[in-house]
Amino acid sequence: MQMATHLFTWLALGCTTTYFLLFFLIRHRPRRKSQLPNLPPGPAPLPIIGSLHKLGDRPHLSLAELSKCHGPLMSLRLGHVTTIVASSPAVAREILQKNDQYLASRFVPDAVHIFDHNKKSMVWSPLNHFWRNLKRISATQLFTNQRLDTNQGLRRAKVQELLDHVRSCCSEGLPVDIGRAAFVTAINLISNTVFSVDLVGVNSESSHEFKETVWAIMVEAGSPNLSDYFPILRWMDLQGRRRRQRANFQKLHAFFDKMIDDRLRHASANATCRDFLDVLLQSLQRSEIDRVIIKSLLTDIFTAGSDTSSNTVEWAMAELLHNPKAMARAQAELSEIIGFGNHIEESDFVRLPYLQSIVKETLRLHPPAPFLIPRKAEDDVDVGGFTIPKHAQVLVNVWAIGRDTSIWEDPDNFNPTRFMGSGLDYKGKNFELIPFGSGSRTCPGLPLADRMVHFMLASLLCSFHWSLPDGMSSRDMDMSDMFGITLAKAVPLRAVPTKH
């Protein structure tokens, strides 16, 4: 990974210096002081590449360290792009709430400019009528409390399949790949909601392939790319991100095309809506959306919905195994309130404050998207006495906010009790904890993710005791992460279940 970082830097230096130095010197000749915006402070940029060399392979950590020197509102020049980074709750509130209407558009990575996904995706499209229509369809047909309550039996069935898989591993004395098992549960829940069928089996090769494809999409979209920072280089696709992303999208789209064609082939004129695909196809027949829009929306739902929930469950289990006292307290609460080995219902969550605190603490330390999704300024915006210039990329480093020593005591320590009785939640109102964002671009899937993460985690803890394989101790665990749009655990968690 370190070699890849150096290669990225040298590619930036070599290619831009050799072929485009004259272009940039002419186009970006120094402006008069009166022409310069009042940018927030930041590191002094190098010629041509700016501060690209400072990103490293874990940009969330690198930018958190830089913010300690330059402040909670920081500017960097990354190649051709002015980037603004917010690293405090107060500044995040200014950006996501007070100035939401001016800063709610997307800075779209070049690797997302595939099959018009940048224009027809709910995640990446600008804040316009088209986006509002997609959000309305998703919100009313997938994520309302009424719809979620209706699908409670489906979630119960998928979690039971997860427990059946763990029980099988338990009887054979085998460790469980927590992230993969949680991913299969999440993806099959989404697939049943959308298509009324399971997509993958927990031990199937297809589950591994689908998980790899989803993670590859996140990596290509989230990793530093020369094409994003030097637009004149986009046609070359020097790092191959657009080429690889096209292949990733083609895999998903081929599956979606098959499901759409099968449904249209067997649809009857008087068919009632059975699932979300029926809703989308009715909109297609009314010419409200087209097939490309359907596939883009489904790509958003399947990638974001499966990856974030499964990662959070994996991180929560990893932290509990890394902190045995917290694990013991969580299971004591479940044993007292539910009874060890008994089935859990979603209505039980309100009676499990320590479990809720575990989820909050996990999201504080390991937010699903460390920078949320990059925003773009549609106009010059004043924030904190500085100017965010038009077209700037705007990042909110929620990872840095979650580890800020001025907000959290001993912030690197996993301590769920800090949330007991605090009243803090992650629904977008408390800017100390905004793993799903805030304002108009709050993650629309938050209500479903909230239920699924609690359900999977509580069920795993209430049905089994857990230990690390091969005599490994908690001190030996690798708790490092891998950066993409989302943060995954670098070393997948394997844990051994035993019955009570």
What's the rounded Cα separation, in Å, for the pair 392 and 86?
13
Minimal CA–CA distance to 184: which of 206, 217, 167, 168?
A: 206
What's the rounded Cα separation, in Å, for the pair 331 and 319?
14
Minimal CA–CA distance to 356: which of 325, 333, 372?
A: 333
Asked if residues 349 and 359 have their Cβ atoms less than 8 Å apart, the reply is no
Token representation of residue 114: 């595939």
Helix (H) or strand (E) holding 195: helix 178-195
For residue 355, CA distances in Å to 22, 336, 367, 415 come to 59, 13, 17, 12
Rounded CA Rg of the chain: 23
Q: What are phi and psi of 38, to 5 degrees?
A: -85, 75
What's the rounded Cα separation, in Å, for the pair 317 and 274?
35
Q: Which amino acid is at 191?
A: S
DSSP states of 312-352: HHHHHHHHHHHSHHHHHHHHHHHHHHT-TT----GGGGGG-
What's the rounded Cα separation, in Å, for the pair 479 and 489?
7
Asked if residues 122 and 299 have their Cβ atoms less than 8 Å apart, the reply is no
Q: Which amino acid is at 192?
A: N
Asked if residues 208 and 178 have their Cβ atoms less than 8 Å apart, the reply is no
Q: Is residue 91 packed enough to be buried (19+ CB in 10 Å), middle (13-18) or exposed (0-12)?
A: buried
Asked if residues 460 and 474 have their Cβ atoms less than 8 Å apart, the reply is no
The SS3 call for residue 377 is coil
* Residue 15 known to bind ligand: no
What's the rounded Cα separation, in Å, for the pair 484 and 482?
7
Looking up tokens 């059975």, which residue turns up? 274
Asked if residues 487 and 362 have their Cβ atoms less than 8 Å apart, the reply is no
Question: 32 in the Ramachandran plot: left (φ > 0), alpha (ψ -120 to 50) or beta?
Answer: beta
Q: Which residues are annotated as a binding site for heme?
A: 443
Q: Which residues are annotated as a binding site?
A: 443
